[in-house]
Amino acid sequence: SSELTQDPAVSVALGQTVRITCQGDSLRSYYASWYQQKPGQAPVLVIYGKNNRPSGIPDRFSGSSSGNTASLTITGAQAEDEADYYCNSRDSSGNHPFGGGTKLTVL
């Protein structure tokens, strides 16, 4: 199956650490990519590959993977990190499914 599963919503206190997870069989073979989307804007890539950040993405964002689960960790969450986060991967058939998204609230 190429489906990716995310928790619909997660909250974190300002300055604390939060982990957003993504589960799927394809993650046993391929790394997840993570995207941040704020209202009315296009998604922005924040983590890809083993744990790579595109230029301009703060180092408080990091990624990891174990078995069929990929995780996005924000260490020291800021108010501007409040957004929807989507995971995405590829599978052996060349498909690129997205997870359902996680709404992050920074309290």
Of 15 and 38, nearer to other proteins (C-beta) is 38
In angstroms, give the least distance from the CB of 9 to other proteins.
Answer: 13
Residue 90 dihedral angles phi and psi, to the nearest 5°: -115, 165
Minimal distance, residue 29 CB to other proteins, in Å:
7
Report the phi/psi class of residue 20: left, alpha or beta, with left for phi > 0 and alpha for psi in -120 to 50.
beta
The answer to whether residues 22 and 35 touch, using CB atoms and an 8 Å cutoff, is no
Residues in contact with other proteins by the rule CB under 8 A: 29-33, 35, 37, 42-45, 48-49, 52, 54, 84, 86, 88-90, 93-101
Nearest to other proteins of 10, 76 (CB atom): 10
Give the single-character DSSP code of 78. -
